[in-house]
A and B are shown apart, each in its own frame.
Chain A
């Protein structure tokens, strides 16, 4: 049964990892499959993997804004809301995370992979 589930998830492009002692599913680009699986230790681990040894105040401000916005609105912030809410230009925000905005900040914040033309 467990084997069947693993095969099904692999077929769907999902990858399981153990993070902080829990099994967590990610999509093919490393986004959390379920935003509810996110927690702060997971973000720290993923940040290290991306080359960010330590998450500073500015990083946490961005990640918490993403989390709060998503929890309240059920979707990711618009570009201008991200700028207003973090007090950073998106150019600055892009430079803050090694993967940039989409593959860096948004992914570390545990938001779903955006449905764009890819």
Chain B
């Protein structure tokens, strides 16, 4: 066991961040860390410009036509709450999937408990993907929205968003996309895929710090605000201003977080999404290869077919997943995520709801040797039992 921690929990948050990004954000914050866009003095205007620059970068990354419709929030969960509470109306029906994170499931459950909506969950197949035809069959005449995770945080499988977006557009149904696990790893095309609203988080593969995320809206989509307050514009109005992004951004934004996110997006655009994805998938393939056919080790999801993000979830027979995580940490210096990954419906379908599973999520800064060490550690755990 080496002294260096092998961090394989990048699906929870990427660590470390790319060299120089946090320093760049801190430098800009030291120089311009005033209330962005709230005042006529030059520094406030400049700080507002810095925020708008990040909106433009994100719009470019997500294929969104209007940077003013990039709304900052605390994280993807916060952004999904903004979207669901702001778009769903009493009596609406919603279609989501069994792959969803609690960031979608819990708001939907609460809205249903309040008697405001009904919803159905579409299952996934043995490869961990949702069939667009199954989504089509779940639509009702009063379906207002389909809510879909772009990539499963348990299985890593990337969903056929283009196809589901086309069928939603054809039926006049909104598509709300959760890109928490995909943004920064695989391409996202809001306009091309007919996505109505896209939630992202900054601290995962976009390489920003925690505490910043957002919602990107298609042109023309109206989202009712669910929180109200100062925006720095239209202050005489007793109600929330109608213009975006201010309509959905009550209070001062997280400038330091946004600057860090901007530096992370710069890094991604510099590296190229394709290069990032290729490298991470090569790492995943090496890990999978090291674990293939090991007696007593169950790998979940498809065998790596189809588009994927770098996530591999498994169990070792006879070892509680939480114990496996502790053993990997203390005996092998490997950090992984054990449990239900806030995705109970996925584990229910996998048959792991009672105990959970162990998730390995390599990132850009891991090495092939890290994958070999992780595979070896799992093999040694499996051998003992």
Contacts A80-B330, A82-B330, A89-B330; A116 near B339 (Cβ below 8 A): yes
- A94, B319: Cβ atoms under 8 Å? yes
> Cβ of A18 < 8 Å from any Cβ of B?
no
> Cβ of A72 < 8 Å from any Cβ of B?
no
Rounded to whole Å, the gap between the CB of A99 and the closest CB of chain B is: 8
Question: Which of A33-41, A49-57, A59-67, A100-108 contacts its partner?
Answer: A100-108
Interface residues of A in 65-87 (CB under 8 A from B): 79-80, 82-83
Q: Hey, which chain B residues are within 8 Å of A95, CB to CB?
A: 384
- B331, A118: Cβ atoms under 8 Å? no
Q: Hey, which chain A residues are within 8 Å of B342, CB to CB?
A: 117
Q: Hey, which chain B residues are within 8 Å of A100, CB to CB?
A: 319-320, 323
- B322, A116: Cβ atoms under 8 Å? yes
| Distance, CA A94 to CA B326, complexed state (A) | 10
Residues of A contacting B: mostly: helix
> Cβ of A24 < 8 Å from any Cβ of B?
no
Across the A-B interface, give the 5 residue pairs with the lowest CB-CB distance, nearest first: A117-B339, A79-B330, A100-B323, A90-B330, A90-B327
- A91, B340: Cβ atoms under 8 Å? no
Contacts A101-B320, A103-B320; A90 near B331 (Cβ below 8 A): yes
Q: Report 23 cross-chain contacts, Cβ distance below 8 Å, ordered by A residue.
A: A79-B326, A82-B326, A83-B330, A89-B327, A89-B330, A90-B323, A90-B329, A91-B327, A91-B381, A91-B384, A94-B319, A99-B320, A101-B322, A101-B326, A102-B322, A102-B326, A114-B322, A117-B337, A117-B338, A117-B340, A118-B339, A118-B340, A118-B356
- Using a CB–CB distance below 8 Å, which chain B residues touch chain A? 319-320, 322-323, 326-327, 329-331, 337-342, 356, 380-381, 384
| Distance, CA A84 to CA B14, complexed state (A) | 28
| Distance, CA A114 to CA B331, complexed state (A) | 20
Rounded to whole Å, the gap between the CB of A20 and the closest CB of chain B is: 27
Q: Hey, which chain A residues are within 8 Å of B329, CB to CB?
A: 79-80, 90
* Of the residues B323, B337, B339, B341, contact of A94 by C-beta under 8 Å: B323
Known: A102-B323, A117-B341, A118-B339. 10 other contacts (CB 8 A): A79-B330, A80-B329, A89-B330, A90-B326, A90-B329, A90-B330, A94-B319, A100-B323, A116-B338, A117-B339
- Of B326, B341, B380, B381, chain A has the most CB atoms within 10 Å of the CB of B326
| Distance, CA A118 to CA B321, complexed state (A) | 11
| Distance, CA A114 to CA B338, complexed state (A) | 13
Q: Hey, which chain B residues are within 8 Å of A89, CB to CB?
A: 327, 330-331
| Distance, CA A65 to CA B131, complexed state (A) | 52
Rounded to whole Å, the gap between the CB of B321 and the closest CB of chain A is: 9
- Of B323, B331, B338, chain A has the most CB atoms within 10 Å of the CB of B323
- Of A79, A91, A103, chain B has the most CB atoms within 10 Å of the CB of A91
**B322 to A, closest residue via Cβ:** A102
* Of the residues B320, B331, B340, B380, contact of A102 by C-beta under 8 Å: B320
Q: Hey, which chain B residues are within 8 Å of A99, CB to CB?
A: 320
| Distance, CA A95 to CA B356, complexed state (A) | 20
Q: Hey, which chain A residues are within 8 Å of B356, CB to CB?
A: 117-118
Rounded to whole Å, the gap between the CB of B217 and the closest CB of chain A is: 31
- Of A83, A102, A103, A114, chain B has the most CB atoms within 10 Å of the CB of A102
| Distance, CA A2 to CA B203, complexed state (A) | 50
**A101 to B, closest residue via Cβ:** B323
| Distance, CA A66 to CA B193, complexed state (A) | 54
Q: Hey, which chain A residues are within 8 Å of B338, CB to CB?
A: 116-117
**B354 to A, closest residue via Cβ:** A118
**B385 to A, closest residue via Cβ:** A95
**A105 to B, closest residue via Cβ:** B323
Q: Hey, which chain B residues are within 8 Å of A101, CB to CB?
A: 320, 322-323, 326-327
